[in-house]
Structure 1
């Protein structure tokens, strides 16, 4: 079974590695990970984190790179087509719709957060920040800028700044993706990822040289800040007691799951453009290592220690948005030349966001091109319209960020879990773990050990299923209750159903087209 001939390819292996790394390195590396590590006893959190990395993250990365390359050799670059190659069953392309709705749906709200980051960098550049009025001022600024007081408020004239920066991000993403793999995504990643690392290292050096800023508070120093992040025990718990926290293991697995872009439908598409002897094992391992370094060595050593040193232990917690858009501006306010480091920080977040967002568009474009036969220009135009509608939905239902929250739950979490689990089952049991390892070894400098087959068949799927069931048990009830009581949540959910129907309809047309091409239709 073959699809259309490949029209695009990566310019270099370094380019595709950096592109995958750019997809994985995002806001979660610099905000979500530090928050979880601080919440779950610092150093104790790293044990389940690295266990999940070894048993879940790395094996699934190898699996996705290998399956993608195998599908690409048959001429397919989207999950509906690749799944059809791997599992020749009439249902397989429709299961693959998850590989379209996940990246497209996440893009719809991710570009909104991207606009926040760019706007904050702009505020530092023109000297509006710092505000010098305490945490309340930053909370009010963030709530007002993001339209949390009422639905539809962001489309008023008083919020024109948000609309301008959202449109800038939106157009920039579309220009990059229109330029294709080598001339767009790869080029931006080749520039953006090194700049991101340089910016992060500059901020890290500044944090590590803070010393003891306030002599009246000698306990708020660099060593204690790092200790707050990394020490494996607290005054109330021993190391072993901390490890007995089941919720921490669940959170660590979830962080690995999201930070490596597992189940996004991106890696499997990116790797489908590789040549048959390109090294998928080394490439996957390198991209995982780069992402982990950005998360642990940079994100983990910047955010929480800086908050601890300058604002005290109470400021080191908080959710992703609280930490990134309220606490850290307060931190920069306390730093000498803090405006410069505030600009660097939000520029770093913007680069991390855009290298991730551009990756989310390629899977759908690949499907439009191979499934319904559109040109890249027509594919980008269609995708621009679809994602624009979704972004308007997210921006309109801004009260309490309900639109963003609903999209993140149903698409950015539930669908990701489902897609990753399906991929692991297909790779380990349908494609076959032994065949997968043999395929991965083609052109590989590194040789996968045989025990990886056991991990892929049993450990990874069980890990995913258990995490998914426990996570649903903890969260599903509250979201269903929200759907029952909130019109905005229901409207957002209905849009998600409409988007799903849109892709399933297109997949039905693509299947008929593929059958005609293969001479299968009588």
Structure 2
């Protein structure tokens, strides 16, 4: 049997895992969520939930990967007790990875395209309406979007084809270190703008009176959701990196390093964007259009804005590409672990498959724009995002936690033994009931509220249909967790 590839260094593991976690949720979504929900008060609550929810699940994923030396394709098969159904999650996990990349490759292509457009001066001198039209024209051009999506797919699979140490680790380390350098430079520049300090105050000084005006429940739930999704947990993307990790360090300490790095990038992204918005009188809670419409307008008003804009989108490109490369590695590992393919064959087949699977999201903005699967104004990307973000990621996290801490799965003693192997911080042994009952309950609340928020404005009939669907999905996940013959391990 071929020996499992491993990371060449501890830094490589931390940066690659952080690269997977650090994506558009950090640098695209986090700043406008902070702007929308009142700045510092939102961030404070977000950090609390990140430690209470995200960190334990991250340790679970790493433990499953390192103990099995497999991706989710085979990890549950190898660790589960006899008669368990947990191995069925491997199919759900890989569906998630493919569906996520079906639209993420397109958005990563937007980032690369805007880096080129900014550097080439294509947005220079345009007013607000023209900048908006430029983004609309990009979405309307199936050819342009397909070209940049293909560039992302080919480039990312090219990195993965070189292997774990020569490709994934070596190149992601360069990208991540470059990303960290760029984000510091951009943040320092943003802080030097006239009027930026008002943005810093909004961003870093909690204003609980403002939070009350927005709605305490809305702010708490927004922070809860963002904290849960920011680490890319629930789909098995982190399991693969655990399988490449040695036994010399405990998993809690490594997970904390990754969480801190992920949080640092998110906070710094906000420190770039929000002070700049205040400096130029722009609404920081402008939503998803903040990056592609609002910020180009800000850069156009800056001295040297063409250069700063190009650097910003280069930073955004590194953030998105690091995630694409990491998830592609998980997809490749599935083919290699489950089918026994060579890395070269897995790359060749999946590259073609991924390009074809990414086309519906691209065409959903133009040729197939008449398809509105979640109601008027939605598109194919919205459906794909809903499947992953509102379904597989939260429920997948429940599967990982229950597998590690319940008697129906791998079991608490086995999990603790693996998590604590090596030097470093040890996982607290008195939190089993918290992980067994509280985390799953919170995740189910997030899950059901996601359905309610998505479909309640569309009428009771539509909401009822989608709530039935959600309950069927919950029943399937319950069968994976509890539908086994052997209940003790």
Structure 1 residues 238 and 476 mapped into 2: Cα distance closer, same or farther (>3 Å)? Answer: closer
Residue 53 of structure 2 is aligned to residue 56 of structure 1: yes
Q: 1:458 aligns with which of 437, 445, 460?
A: 437
Question: Which residue of structure 1 aligns with residue 483 of structure 2?
Answer: none
**1:434–1:453 CA contact under 8 A, matched in 2:** no
Structure 1 residues 97 and 481 mapped into 2: Cα distance closer, same or farther (>3 Å)? Answer: farther
Question: Which residue of structure 2 aligns with residue 175 of structure 1?
Answer: 158
Question: Which residue of structure 2 aligns with residue 163 of structure 1?
Answer: 146
Residue 79 of structure 2 is aligned to residue 86 of structure 1: yes
Question: Which residue of structure 2 aligns with residue 513 of structure 1?
Answer: none
Q: Distance between the aligned counterparts of 2:335 and 2:146, measured in 1?
A: 29
Question: Which residue of structure 1 aligns with residue 412 of structure 2?
Answer: 433
Residue 72 of structure 2 is aligned to residue 109 of structure 1: no
Once the two structures are superposed, the pairs formed by residues 342-421 of structure 1 within 5 Å of their partners are 342-398=309-365, 399=369, 402-421=379-398
Deviations 1:458-498 (A, max 9, x none): 322222122112222222456899999xxxxxxxxxxxxxx
Q: Distance between the aligned counterparts of 1:187 and 1:417, measured in 2?
A: 31
Alpha-carbon distance, 1:361 to partner: 1.3
Question: Which residue of structure 1 aligns with residue 39 of structure 2?
Answer: 42
Q: Distance between the aligned counterparts of 1:39 and 1:170, measured in 2?
A: 33
Alpha-carbon distance, 1:319 to partner: 1.4
Residue 119 of structure 2 is aligned to residue 140 of structure 1: no
Alpha-carbon distance, 1:380 to partner: 1.4
Alpha-carbon distance, 1:365 to partner: 1.5
**2:23–2:319 CA contact under 8 A, matched in 1:** yes
Q: 1:319 aligns with which of 279, 282, 287?
A: 287
Question: Which residue of structure 1 aligns with residue 476 of structure 2?
Answer: none
**1:177–1:184 CA contact under 8 A, matched in 2:** yes
Question: Which residue of structure 2 aligns with residue 504 of structure 1?
Answer: none
Question: Which residue of structure 2 aligns with residue 422 of structure 1?
Answer: 399
Structure 1 residues 472 and 256 mapped into 2: Cα distance closer, same or farther (>3 Å)? Answer: same
What is the TM-score with the length of structure 2 in the denominator? 0.87
Secondary structure in structure 2 of the residue aligned to 1:96: helix
Q: Distance between the aligned counterparts of 2:396 and 2:22, measured in 1?
A: 20
**1:26–1:356 CA contact under 8 A, matched in 2:** yes
Question: Which residue of structure 2 aligns with residue 197 of structure 1?
Answer: 180
Alpha-carbon distance, 1:351 to partner: 0.5
Question: Which residue of structure 2 aligns with residue 273 of structure 1?
Answer: 244
Once the two structures are superposed, the pairs formed by residues 192-231 of structure 1 within 5 Å of their partners are 192-210=175-193, 212=194, 221-231=195-205
Q: 1:261 aligns with which of 225, 229, 232?
A: 232
Alpha-carbon distance, 1:134 to partner: 2.1
Secondary structure in structure 1 of the residue aligned to 2:122: coil
Once the two structures are superposed, the pairs formed by residues 232-311 of structure 1 within 5 Å of their partners are 232-233=206-207, 237=209, 241=212, 245-296=216-267, 298-311=268-281
Secondary structure in structure 2 of the residue aligned to 1:9: coil
Alpha-carbon distance, 1:139 to partner: 1.0
Give unmatched runs, 5+ long, in structure 1. 148-152, 155-159, 213-220, 485-522
Give unmatched runs, 5+ long, in structure 2. 370-376, 464-489
**2:27–2:319 CA contact under 8 A, matched in 1:** no
Alpha-carbon distance, 1:5 to partner: 4.6
What is the TM-score with the length of structure 1 in the denominator? 0.82
Q: Distance between the aligned counterparts of 2:90 and 2:457, measured in 1?
A: 28
Secondary structure in structure 2 of the residue aligned to 1:451: coil
**1:44–1:243 CA contact under 8 A, matched in 2:** no
Deviations 1:226-277 (A, max 9, x none): 123234327xx366x3696222222212111221111131111110122233
Q: Distance between the aligned counterparts of 1:343 and 1:336, measured in 2?
A: 13
Q: Distance between the aligned counterparts of 1:243 and 1:327, measured in 2?
A: 22
**1:78–1:364 CA contact under 8 A, matched in 2:** no
- How many residues are paired up? 452
Alpha-carbon distance, 1:374 to partner: 1.3
Q: Distance between the aligned counterparts of 2:437 and 2:231, measured in 1?
A: 20
